[in-house]
Amino acid sequence: MTMDVLTVVGARPQFVKAAIVSSALQRGGLVESLVHTGQHYDDNMSDVFFRELGLPGASENLDLGGLSHGAMTGRMIEAIESIVQQKRPAVVLVYGDTNSTAAAAIAAVKLHVPVAHVEAGMRSFNRRMPEEINRVITDHVATYHFVTSEAPKRHLSAEGIVDGVHVVGDVMRDACVRFLPTARERNTLSEHAFMDGAFALVTLHRPENTDDPSRLAALIEGLSLVSTEIPLVIPLHPRTKRRLSASHLALPESVHVIEPVGYLDMLALVDRCALVITDSGGLQKEAFYLGRPCVTARDETEWTETVELGWNRLVGADPVAMRSASVGFLSAAPSQSREGVYGDGHAADRIAEILVDAIRAGARASD
């Protein structure tokens, strides 16, 4: 059967983005089929997002998590190619920078199916990051590039990509606007004592931080220093938990460790906290949207505007810098305006409108 949009997702941030954009596609009258690659496959990292966000059930679940980069990407390409051949979509829609993103883009373009890339043009300029490779590959084969702001548009232009580039804003801002009231009403974390006082929210999961024992040890030292200033709460990522055990490292006893949480509970934690310490790109933005200062345990960030406006500080794996940035934010909150930096909360509607027009134009041309 012929259908309009084949959406491919595989990781937590993509589920959130897809929930927002899928609703807009449906309002625009498009028929969408969702493929879940299984890159994030346990309940706390995957199923809970489908339940909480009203994301349509996946028509295909490839169950391809837990493999090496090469094996995972290769098997995804093979499986997605077969699905594209079967469903014959007008567009394959992908998000962000995961192996699922690059695999779907490669499979689609080799079958001459246009690729639409949400969150195109993001660059860390660090080719050691697998995510950077995935971004570059996807952008250079995509037909439609949906960018969050002028900065990624400039990145694409510098690489010779100027056609099909649309500044639409960030669908994660759409998600914050839509889901924050629900997150506040749920109150599912009320049994935790830390919710009654000030705390800093911590997440660490990137391989560059967790897979290097010396870097991981430095980050734990940094958290220990910060924990003398404010209580810390960390929803512990499965990878980080494994790496801590393998490296014979332990989080400070003063850190409140909880299980990974879904998007709504994470949004509630960001909304309630005084400070965010993270290596997550998505959490940097959520902190920015909710007016929470962010200390980023990376050497670079794709979300440069958050740093330029003073809401985000990059500290790498330097424990002293982590403490200094945290204390600085706790003593003096940022004051620069955050309004309009990544759109107005209607990015998904713009994406849907562009795809509706393109698909309808393509249908008329083939008549």
pLDDT of the residue at 201 = 97
Residues 120 and 101 sit within 8 Å (Cβ to Cβ): no
- pLDDT score recorded for residue 3: 66
Average pLDDT score over the chain? 92
- Identify the CATH number of the domain defined by range 3-170+343-366: 3.40.50.2000
Model pLDDT, residue 198: 92
pLDDT in tens, 188-199: 887 787 877 899
Q: Looking at the chain, which residues constitute the CATH 3.40.50.2000 domain(s)?
A: 3-170+343-366, 188-331
Percent of the chain with pLDDT over 90: 79
- CATH architecture label of 188-331: 3-Layer(aba) Sandwich (3.40)
Residue 46: per-residue pLDDT: 56
The pLDDT assigned to 1 comes to 42
Return the pLDDT at 222. Answer: 97
pLDDT of residue 52: 79
Location of structure tokens 């809401």:
311
Determine the average pLDDT of the residues in 215-222. Answer: 97
Evaluate whether 91 touches 62 at the Cβ level (below 8 Å): no
Q: For 284-303, how does the pLDDT look when each residue is reduced to its tens digit (9 = 90+)?
A: 999 999 999 999 999 999 99
Q: Round to whole Å and give the CA distance between 24 and 365.
A: 24
N-terminal to C-terminal alpha carbon distance within the chain: 17
As a whole number, mean pLDDT of residues 105-122 equals 98
Q: How do residues 35-88 score in pLDDT, each as one tens digit?
A: 999 865 555 555 666 777 877 767 788 887 777 889 999 999 999 999 999 999
Annotated catalytic residue: which of 36, 117, 155, 205?
205
Q: Is 205 one of the annotated active-site residues of the chain?
A: yes
DSSP 273: -
